Amino acid sequence: KQEVTQIPAALSVPEGENLVLNCSFTDSAIYNLQWFRQDPGKGLTSLLLIQSSQREQTSGRLNASLDKSSGRSTLYIAASQPGDSATYLCAVTYGAGSYQLTFGKGTKLSVIP
């Protein structure tokens, strides 16, 4: 069974700090990896999609990297703001013809003003 792990489960940083969130997956044969943001009691907002052939993707202050061989992805957030406080989830798609996402449990980020 494929597993996605996110460490740490929670992270608290002062405003303005750069930070890295980690995601690891057990099977390197992924097709893509997607990072989401989830606010309390809300839906999931897609942040970035990295295809298996890519090494990184950038959107504004966010940069996601992918290392398939080591089964790891990182989400880098530059110059963090209180509005970045949320739970960040990573999810992967495995297998030819399979579109289902397998999620990690997430990292709850708190950015302190």
Partner 1 sequence: EPEVTQTPSHQVTQMGQEVILRCVPISNHLYFYWYRQILGQKVEFLVSFYNNEISEKSEIFDDQFSVERPDGSNFTLKIRSTKLEDSAMYFCASSPTGTVAYNEQFFGPGTRLTVL
**Least distance CB 94 / partner 1 (angstroms):** 9
User: Is the CB of 18 or the CB of 26 nearer to partner 1?
Assistant: 26
Alpha carbon distance 39, 5 (integer Å):
19
User: Is the CB of 13 or the CB of 49 nearer to partner 1?
Assistant: 49
Alpha carbon distance 2, 56 (integer Å):
22
Task: For residue 31, state whether it binds partner 1 (rule: CB under 8 A).
Answer: yes
Tokens of residue 5, six digits? 């792990």
Alpha carbon distance 104, 1 (integer Å):
13
Applying CB under 8 A, the residues found at the interface with partner 1 are: 31-32, 34, 36, 41-46, 49, 51-53, 89, 91, 93, 96-106
